[in-house]
Structure 1
Amino acid sequence: MFCVFLRSCFLLLLLLPIGPAVTEVVTSMSDCANFFLQQTPPQIPGILEGGSIQNQNGYKAICQTLRNARTFVTLYDTNNKIPVFSAGMYRGKEDLRLSHNMGIENKKRSYRYQAVNADYKNQTSFDRGHLLPSSYGLTKRDSESTFTLTNIVPQEGTFNKGSWNSMENCIRCVLDEYCINNNGHTESLVVTRMDSICCFPNKSAEKNNLPVTGDGKTLYKDAAALFPCFFACYLPFLHLFWKSGAKPNRSHFRLASIW
């Protein structure tokens, strides 16, 4: 029991960054429920049920925080060192100048449960891809808070800059056009997650600390690894709620229903 306690404390320390960014590790997604429709987190059997992490040693709920404000929430897989999903609020977009420095913890520490910047050093085949896009932040603080490695997945470079970037822009256009709250402002809940694990040989990944399987193949490297992005918002002209991938209906829907 004491060993389990020490490991939990160690994991907590690993996920606490320096500087203004704070990855607030919590035991339940309900601590950041405002980023979910009807404050109901997704149901992931065996992983996330009823807003609670089923395996606290393998997964961590993180309330992403910057300058004392919670900006989005992440479910993080500490075994594969990769986020399972990130969820936030889209409220439109401002013209921002951002710093692209990735938030990371004490660099003198050895990391077993989280990716670090050194894992991506001298890499030309894949990028540090945002799960929750930085372009979905209304303020500079919102956008900068996404530059944490707990919101990053290895994405093949041309996919990240091509198809994925186009998808981000397309969804943003839809949200700007149709998702308006009762006060006349753009507002939508957004969830992006890893849909599948795809394995590809990658010698450079073996040298670094990237998520790899037991046979030395890197995880989530290629465009074949799917990154579905879901949203849910209110359509004022129809007086109903709408979720992506389904026809609008006149009853409230649970975010869990799109998983």
Structure 2
Amino acid sequence: MTAAEPRAPGGTLPPILVVPALLGLALLVVPLGALVGRMEWANLWADITSPEAIDALLLSLGTGGIATLVCTVLGMPLALVIARARPGIAGVLRVLVTVPLVLPPMVGGVALLFLFGRSSPVGEVLATWGITLPFTTAAVVLAQVFVALPFLVLAVEGSLRTSGVEYENTAATLGAGRWRILWRVTLPLAAPGLLAGVILCFARAIGEFGATALFAGNAPGVTQTMPLAIYTAFNGAGVGQGTAVALSLLLLVTSLVVLLLVRGWRQGAPR
């Protein structure tokens, strides 16, 4: 190879790094392979169509869809504010949005319970209106929103920050009003991040466990989502372990589809 020829990707890396890289990859992939290996394929359809599994699946999909809608309605404005705020303010807001990503999910459940529980000021106000949130289906949605909202906000905000404000400023100089700029310029620019954020948000919502368990409980047909049904099965109650493995595989397939959709869309997106 002459000096003018470009090196192949990774050609400057020490070959010994391949060993820990393969070990790390194996640590991620082999456990998933073990899950697939434990699947009783002959009983797969019966397992995922059992009444308990159907209830958990429908509840997860329904609450996950509602949570994603709420995240979109609340997350888009928040992402716009962060993307167009001054650097110092944007940095603070970005940190606050990121906090649920690094908190243990159980902490989020405790925080929601202390905020909306009957003994809290907010809970007492809601009780006077006849509204009780903890250990209801609505609590599942709130828990999912708490953990999934950052995914949408950060995806949209990153997309807007990358696109800059040049097109918006040009539209303003041409006489476009703020709302027209928002709908005709800003939101189309945010579409890549919005699509990726919505997909990731939905995937995170249906996979939520910790905050849901503490704030919403584990009542079959009411608050028992797929992750909770899986946990319950492996503790000797609820659905059978065969059904739990089938639901685990279903969540795994859903996650893979989500990642492939995001990856495929990003590769095909205009640059």
Which category of TM-score, normalised to the shorter sequence, fits these structures?
A: under 0.3
Choose between structure 1 and 2 for higher RCO, CA contacts under 8 A separated by at least 6 residues. Answer: 2
TM-score in terms of structure 1 length: 0.25
Q: Which has the larger radius of gyration?
A: 2
TM-score in terms of structure 2 length: 0.24
Higher helix share: 2
